[in-house]
Amino acid sequence: MTRTVGEPDMNPATIMRLGSAFAGAKVLLSAIELDLFTELAKRPLTRAEIQDVLKLHPRVTGEWLSMLVALNLLRRDGEVYRNSELCDRFLDRSKPSFAGGFLQRTNQVLFPAWVYLTDALRTGEQQARHIEANDMFDTPYQDPEQVEAFLTMMDSLTSTIGAQLGEAFDWSTVKTVTDVGGARGNLLSLLLKQHEHLTGTVFDLAPLKDPADKLAKERGLADRLSFSPGSFFDNDLPQADVLMIGHVLHDWAPEERQVIVDKAFKAVNPGGAVLVYDCMLADEEMDLAKLTISIHMKLMTPGGEEYPISEGVELLENAGFGPVEAHELGAIDTLLIGWKQA
């Protein structure tokens, strides 16, 4: 059988690979769960040594390691396995550059939720009810291990954004800043290290006060970084020259987003600004990563989603901010800067 020039290749292999792409994802997620990359960062190991250190059964381990090699996550030299350069830098839990926190949470919560995508398509409802750790905002705080997993995830998401925000906005005339929903203060601590004239407050739920106080002390910021416990919907936000609302609004339905932004307007000092960043969507968005994150939010929350940039601008303008500027922030986020007139 021949194929004419210009005729598309009708081989189903591409479709079959896509349909089983979950396998590669789970191979990586299990490696993170088992701390394989952290162990291999200490020294290269043979298959038998890996099985012994990680307490693995030999029946599946060989193919699993071979898949990690095929995915360029591990290197194999004879009988010995070692991390790829990328994994050694970002998936070794002992390094400050560890970025596996989000993937840990993906393994625990998001991966199981995607099993129920068909149900979500039929009902429009969140699917987190099927998962043991099924509440993004209450359940994690009831278990110390889940608290640490949640905070590690948040730290991995904010570590790069801290430096980016430090450069994306002119902080020279700012004295005080509040990070709304700032977890234990990782991002704000990075910003305060970068701009030593700033004083900051993290506003988040009360169970995070102790982790936040501990982080501030460990980073030598106890005199400049404080924690204010509260809820977006039940409490006023701490007053400051600049309020940051990052990766927060996408957790909520449109009317709830407006409530949060309205409260931010009241809390920003005259002449100050609100900084909102999320993985916002363009009109007719076709970016696979952004669309994936938006479905993440719809699976995990009753009303959350990634929202269009134009909708974000409208939220700020409705609250009274203006003018509103939109800027790219890193590889995937959009930063909105809304000014409050003096």
Which structure tokens are listed for 41? 């960062």
Query: What pLDDT, in 10s, does the model give residues 46-73?
Result: 999 999 999 999 999 999 999 999 999 9
The helices-and-strands tally (H runs, E runs) of the chain is: 15, 10
Catalytic one among 195, 197, 247, 250?
250
3-state SS, 291-325, equals HHHHHHHHHHCCCCCCCEHHHHHHHHHHHCCCCEE
- Report the range of poorest mean pLDDT among 2-11, 154-163, 181-190, 318-327: 2-11
Torsion sign over Cα 108, 147, 194, 168: positive
pLDDT tops 60 at residue 259:
yes
- Report the range of poorest mean pLDDT among 77-86, 127-136, 164-173: 127-136
The count of residues in the chain is 342
Report pLDDT for 1.
Answer: 47
- Correct CATH for 20-95 of 1.10.10.10, 3.30.70.580, 3.40.309.10, 1.20.80.10: 1.10.10.10
Average pLDDT value for residue range 315-336: 96
pLDDT tops 70 at residue 135:
no
Confidence of residue 284 (pLDDT cuts 50, 70, 90): confident
Amino acid making up residue 178: T
Return the domain boundaries, the chain. 20-95, 107-339
User: According to DSSP H, which parts of 55-143 are helical?
Assistant: 58-70, 85-90, 101-105, 111-114, 117-123
57 a catalytic residue: no
User: According to DSSP H, which parts of 34-185 are helical?
Assistant: 36-42, 47-54, 58-70, 85-90, 101-105, 111-114, 117-123, 144-168
- Report the range of poorest mean pLDDT among 25-34, 116-125, 175-184, 282-291: 282-291
Tell me the sheet residues that pair with 41: none
Torsion sign over Cα 238, 239, 244, 248: positive
Which long-range contacts (C-beta less than 8 Å, at least 24 apart) are formed by 76-83? 77/44, 79/46, 79/47, 80/44, 80/45, 80/46, 81/40, 81/44, 81/45, 81/46, 81/47, 81/50, 82/40, 82/44, 83/37, 83/40, 83/41
Q: What is the mean pLDDT of the chain?
A: 92
Confidence of residue 191 (pLDDT cuts 50, 70, 90): very high
| Domain 107-339 of CATH type 3.40.50.150 | yes
Average pLDDT value for residue range 192-212: 95
Query: What pLDDT, in 10s, does the model give residues 238-254?
Result: 999 999 999 999 999 99
Confidence of residue 3 (pLDDT cuts 50, 70, 90): low
